[in-house]
């Protein structure tokens, strides 16, 4: 093996390692984003439940508006979670 062949082989190995590390990092970032979004969704559900309870047990007229806003926010969060899950699946399939 010549020095030039050795250098080329070493470059190929380091390029492959860098690509795998980049993919692993991308997967980790997507998993973290997904976990964060799911935590936000769980929190929104809790707040929604509390507002719903308070609006049903009182004469609060603003409760319906607040619930409508939470429904919109929850819908967007669920869409974001679905998008992140798709990105994660696609990234895993790239391997």
**21-26 own/partner pairs: CB under 8 Å, 24+ apart:** 23/91, 23/94, 23/95, 26/91
pLDDT of 95: 61
Q: What pLDDT digit, counting tens, does each position of 36-67 carry?
A: 999 999 999 999 999 888 888 887 677 788 89
List all residues 6 or more positions away from 38 whose beta carbon is below 8 Å from its beta carbon. 81
Indicate the DSSP class of residue 59: -
pTM of the entire structure?
0.76
């Amino acid at each position: 093996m010549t020095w030039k062949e050795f250098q080329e082989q070493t470059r190929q190995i380091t390029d492959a390692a860098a690509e795998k590390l980049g993919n692993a990092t991308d997967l980790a970032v997507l998993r973290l984003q997904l976990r964060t979004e799911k935590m936000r969704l769980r929190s929104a559900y809790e707040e929604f439940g509390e507002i719903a309870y308070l609006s049903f047990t009182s004469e609060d007229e603003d409760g319906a508006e607040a619930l409508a806003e939470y429904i919109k926010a929850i819908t967007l969060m669920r869409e974001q979670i679905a998008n992140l899950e798709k990105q994660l699946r696609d990234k895993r399939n790239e391997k």
